[in-house]
Structure 1
C-alpha cells in the first residue's frame, strides 16, 4: 500500500504527460494560505502539522510548506552567489492592479482575469518585467519572499543552457555518443544515442512515466534520487549513478520522437559534469549566479552520495529567477556582462522538429517543440518557456520584451492542468503590453 501511495504522489510530482482524465475540482487556495496552515509550528510541531521527507508529497497541503523548505527535508549543495555586489533589478511603474484586472477568455470558454489565473494556478510568487523593468512583484498566500523555492523541472532548462554553452565553447560535442563522456552507460539504453538526442529527449529508452502505476519507472527514479523514501525491503538502486546504467534500450530508434523523460536530464547532467570537470552547483554559481549578481545563494538537492538532481533539484528566490530570465531575454547580457553567448540563445530558440514533438501526446501545447531542454512555442512572438510541475514557470517573450516568472504549489502536478490557462494568460498579457 505504501508503494502505491508513493507512486501516486511521486508520479504526480514528476510526470509532465497528457491531461489527467476527470481531474477533480481544485480546492480554493485561500483555504490553504501558507501563513495560516501552521505547518511546522511549535517546539515540537503537533503530529498533524509535521512535514517530513516521507510525507511532503503524500498529504496536501504539506507541499505548500515543503516547496520553500526543501533543504530542511533533503540533502543539498549550495550554489553560491559569491561576494560581489547584488545587481540592480530596475523598477518601473507598479502595474499590479492593472495586470490583475486584465481579463481574458480561458480554455473553459469563461471570462476570468489575471488575478483569477494566478489564484487558480496556486501561485506562491510572481514577477513580471517589461522593457527591462519590474512592473509586477507579488508574494501570494503568505509565501516569504526571502525563501528559495524548488523549481522542479525548470532545473532541466538550466542544465540544458549550460550544456549548450559548453557546446558553443567547444568543450562538448553534440554529435558525440553519450558513452564518450559516460562509458558507464555502454550497456544501457543510451548506447548509440548522441548528446544532442539526449538534449532534445529524442533518445529512445525503456522508461515510462505513467500516473498511478506503482511499477512505473519514474517511481524507481524518484527513490534512486531520494525524492521519495524507499521501503526498507526495496531491492532497487538507491543512487542515480547506480540506477541510470540499468535502464534498457527502447523499442524504437534514437532521434525520431520526442518523449519527455526526466532521466535524460540526469544523464545530461552526468555528461556536463564530465565535460567541464565541475559539479552542477559550481557551474551554475560560476557561470550564472555570480555574474548575474544574485541576491541569495541557490541550492541543488542531492541523492544519497551527493549527486545533484540535474532534472529537478534547483531552488532559487523569485527575484534571482527573474534576473536569470531577463538575462536570456537580453541575449545573454545582464549586470554589464555577456553571461551567455547570444549564439546559445539563438540555438535554443530556433526550436526543434514539431512533428517529433507530437509523439509526446502533449495536445495542450499545440505547435510546440522541445530544444535543448526548453519549450519553444513557435508563436508569432517567438516566446519560449521553462516549466516545472505544480506550476513553476519561466516565460520569455522577445517581441514584447516581457519576462514572467512564477513559483507555485498547485495540488496537481501535471502541466496539463495549468498550461492551457498559462497560454491564454500570457497571450492576453502580451497583447496588453505591446
Structure 2
C-alpha cells in the first residue's frame, strides 16, 4: 500500500481517475483551449495557473499543459537537423467530405467523423492518403508549431529503433536482458529475453492501471519525475534506481501479453548500452534528422537525465505525420531509407493473438502487440501506435491511409477512445478506397 500522502500528490498530479461510464465527461466545447485562458497574464491568475504538481489535474489543465511539457520538466532536444523542410503535398476538397462521414459508434449510435473528433477531445488531427494531406484540423487556441506530448506513442518510436538494430545485427532479440543490463540481474527481468521485453510478454510484479491509486504506475511516475514526490518519500526518485526494485511476476516469461511501460524503460536502457547514445540522440540521428521535419522535438527526462523512453517524446502534428508516412512507406522517405523495409514487415507480422487476450483489452478484439506496436490483424493490415489520453498513429497499408491524432481526453485509458476509433477508421478507409 502506498502512503496516503503520496497518493494525494499522485491523484492531483499524475493519474486521471475513472473508467468508462464511471465519470461524467465535460462538454468538449466547454474546455476548448481558446476559452480556458490558462497561463494567461503576468503572472497568471491563481485559478488559471498550472504548475508541475497540477500538470495533469484538475482537468482541463491537460488541454494546455500537453503542449507545454518542457515548461514543467527537464528535457533534451531531438533536433530536426539541417535538411530542408519536406513539404507535405495536399489534395483539396476533402475536408467536408471527411468531417461529414457517418458511422456507427458505441452502443449503435450514429455519429459523424467531426463528432468523433470533438467527443474524443482531439487537439489536432491530420489525415493523409498516398502521401497527400486530405484533412488537417486543430482545436481552437492550439499553437500548431508547439510540440505535443506523445505519451506511449513514444514506445513505438523506440521499438522501431530496436527492430532496426536487430536487423543490423547490433542487438540480439534472443539475448537475455541481463546480458545488456546486469543491474537487473535480481529483478523481475531475470531470465527474460529482449524480444519478450519488446512484445511485453516478460512477466514482472508490476501493475499499470491508471484509475487505481495503488497501482505500481504511481511509483513509476514518481521515479520518472512526472510529479514532485513528498519530501519523506522513501521510494526511487529516478528510473534506473527504480527498475531494479521491480520483482518477478507469478508466470513464465513469454506466455502472456500485459501492457507495462517499465518494459519500454528497460528497452531504452538496453539501447543506450548497445549504441552509447541517449534515447534523444538515437532518435535524432537515426530518424528525426532525416524526415525534413518542421520543428525540433524533445524528450522529457528524469532527475538524473534519463529519458522517459516509454512516454516522453514531444513533437508537432505534421512532424508526427511525416514519421508515420515514413513507416507506411516501409522506411523510405524524403530521399532516405530511414529504416529497412524488413523492419516494418517484421512489425506488421504481429505476435501471438492468444497471448494478447491476457491483458483483458476487450476493446481491441483480434489485436496483437509486436515490437511496441499494436497490430489489428484486420483485412487491411492496419497497425497503430497509441498513447494515453488519445494519442495515436493509425496506418492502413491497403488504402494508403495515415491518420495522426493528438488529444487531451480527460481519462487516460485507451478504452475510452478505441470504441469510437475502430469504427471511425473502418468508415474512413471505406470512404477512401
Residue 236 of structure 1: aligned partner: 235
Q: Assess, with a 3 A threshold, how the Cα gap between structure 1 residues 310 and 341 changes in structure 2: closer, same or farther.
A: same
Maintained 8 Å contact 1:203/1:254? yes
How do 1:300-315 and structure 2 match up within 5 A?
300-315=299-314
Structure 1 counterpart SS, 2:111:
strand
Structure 2 counterpart SS, 1:273:
helix
The CA deviation string for residues 346-397 of structure 1, in whole angstroms up to 9 with x for no partner, is: 0000000000000000000000000000000000000000000000010000
Residue 214 of structure 1: aligned partner: 213
Structure 2 counterpart SS, 1:312:
coil
Question: Structure 1 CA distance, aligned partners of 2:212 and 2:285?
Answer: 40
Structure 1 counterpart SS, 2:53:
coil
Residue 351 of structure 1: aligned partner: 350
How do 1:95-244 and structure 2 match up within 5 A?
95-244=94-243
Residue 67 of structure 1: aligned partner: 66
Cα deviation, residue 132, structure 1 = 1.1
Maintained 8 Å contact 1:5/1:58? no
Residue 43 of structure 1: aligned partner: 42
Structure 1 counterpart SS, 2:24:
coil
Residue 249 of structure 2: aligned partner: 250
Maintained 8 Å contact 1:376/1:385? yes
Question: Structure 2 CA distance, aligned partners of 1:2 and 1:149?
Answer: 30
The CA deviation string for residues 134-176 of structure 1, in whole angstroms up to 9 with x for no partner, is: 0111112321111100000000000100000000011100000
Q: Does 1:329 align with 2:328?
A: yes
Residue 392 of structure 1: aligned partner: 391
Q: Does 1:3 align with 2:2?
A: no
Cα deviation, residue 47, structure 1 = 1.0
Residue 405 of structure 1: aligned partner: 404
Question: Structure 2 CA distance, aligned partners of 1:75 and 1:5?
Answer: 23
The CA deviation string for residues 99-119 of structure 1, in whole angstroms up to 9 with x for no partner, is: 000000102211000000000
Cα deviation, residue 9, structure 1 = 5.5
Maintained 8 Å contact 2:255/2:355? yes
Residue 277 of structure 2: aligned partner: 278
Aligned residue pair count: 430
Would you identify which runs of 4 or more consecutive aligned residues in structure 1 move more than 6 Å? Answer: none
Q: Does 1:431 align with 2:430?
A: yes
Residue 57 of structure 1: aligned partner: 56
The CA deviation string for residues 257-279 of structure 1, in whole angstroms up to 9 with x for no partner, is: 00000100000000011111111
Q: Assess, with a 3 A threshold, how the Cα gap between structure 1 residues 154 and 22 changes in structure 2: closer, same or farther.
A: same
Question: Structure 2 CA distance, aligned partners of 1:21 and 1:433?
Answer: 31
Maintained 8 Å contact 1:8/1:212? no
Maintained 8 Å contact 1:6/1:58? no
Cα deviation, residue 3, structure 1 = 2.7
Cα deviation, residue 94, structure 1 = 3.8
Structure 2 counterpart SS, 1:196:
helix
Question: Structure 2 CA distance, aligned partners of 1:10 and 1:173?
Answer: 38
Structure 2 counterpart SS, 1:54:
helix
The CA deviation string for residues 209-241 of structure 1, in whole angstroms up to 9 with x for no partner, is: 234443321100000000121111101010000
Maintained 8 Å contact 2:163/2:371? yes
Question: Structure 1 CA distance, aligned partners of 2:236 and 2:84?
Answer: 43
Question: Structure 1 CA distance, aligned partners of 2:21 and 2:329?
Answer: 41
Structure 2 unaligned segments of length 5 or more: list them.
none
The CA deviation string for residues 55-78 of structure 1, in whole angstroms up to 9 with x for no partner, is: 111211111110000000000000
The CA deviation string for residues 284-329 of structure 1, in whole angstroms up to 9 with x for no partner, is: 1111111111111000000001000000000000000000000111
Maintained 8 Å contact 2:332/2:338? yes
Cα deviation, residue 25, structure 1 = 2.9
Question: Structure 1 CA distance, aligned partners of 2:209 and 2:412?
Answer: 13
Structure 1 unaligned segments of length 5 or more: list them.
none
Q: Assess, with a 3 A threshold, how the Cα gap between structure 1 residues 211 and 323 changes in structure 2: closer, same or farther.
A: closer
Residue 22 of structure 1: aligned partner: 21
After superposing the two structures, state which structure 1 stretch, 276-285 or 396-405, moved more.
Answer: 276-285
Question: Structure 2 CA distance, aligned partners of 1:120 and 1:64?
Answer: 14
How do 1:285-296 and structure 2 match up within 5 A?
285-296=284-295
Question: Structure 1 CA distance, aligned partners of 2:340 and 2:166?
Answer: 11
Question: Structure 1 CA distance, aligned partners of 2:120 and 2:173?
Answer: 37
Structure 2 counterpart SS, 1:108:
helix
Q: Assess, with a 3 A threshold, how the Cα gap between structure 1 residues 9 and 169 changes in structure 2: closer, same or farther.
A: farther
Maintained 8 Å contact 1:128/1:405? yes
RMSD of aligned alpha carbons: 1.3
